[in-house]
Amino acid sequence: MTTQGPKLARVTDLHPEELFDKEAAGTLSPEERGRLEAHLVRCADCRWEREARRAFHLESLETDEALAGALERLTEAAPHVSDERDPSAEPRGDEPGLGKVMAPSHQHPWVRLPSPRRSRWAVSLLLVSGTAAAWVGFAPAPPEAQLAATAPSAAIPRGISAIGDRGFGSEPPGTAEEPSAEPPPTGATSPSPGASGTHTTPVAAMAEAPAQRTPAKRPTLAATAQRAAHLGERTPASLSAAERFAAGNRARGRGDLAAASQHYTALVKEHAGTPEARAARALLAQLALDEGHPARALAHYDAYLGAGEARPVLSEEALIGRARALSQLGQSSEAARAWRELLKHYPDSAARAEAQRHLTP
Q: What is the pLDDT of residue 319?
A: 93
Question: What is the distance, to the nearest Å, from the Cα of residue 127 to the centroid of all Cα atoms in its chain?
Answer: 13
Q: What is the pLDDT of residue 144?
A: 54
E-only strand ranges, 251-338 = none
Is the CB of residue 347 less than 8 Å from the CB of residue 316? no
Residues 6+ apart with CB under 8 A from 206: 147, 151, 163, 168
Is the CB of residue 163 less than 8 Å from the CB of residue 204? no
Q: What is the pLDDT of residue 176?
A: 46
Q: For 175-228, how does the pLDDT look when each residue is reduced to its tens digit (9 = 90+)?
A: 444 444 455 555 544 454 444 444 444 545 554 555 555 555 565 656 655 554
Overall size of the chain counted in residues: 361
Question: What is the distance, to the nearest Å, from the Cα of residue 109 to the centroid of all Cα atoms in its chain?
Answer: 22
Q: For 318-338, how does the pLDDT look when each residue is reduced to its tens digit (9 = 90+)?
A: 999 999 999 999 999 999 999
Q: Where are the domains of the chain?
A: 10-76+106-113, 114-132+217-234, 236-361
Q: What is the pLDDT of residue 173?
A: 47
Q: What is the pLDDT of residue 258?
A: 92
Q: How many Cβ atoms are within 10 Å of 243's Cβ, its own excluded?
A: 22
Q: How many Cβ atoms are within 10 Å of 222's Cβ, its own excluded?
A: 10
CATH of domain 236-361: 1.25.40.10
SS3 167: strand
Q: What is the pLDDT of residue 355?
A: 92
Low-confidence ranges of the chain (pLDDT < 50): 1-13, 81-84, 93, 95-116, 138, 147, 151-181, 188-190, 192-201, 203, 207, 228-234
Q: How many Cβ atoms are within 10 Å of 245's Cβ, its own excluded?
A: 26
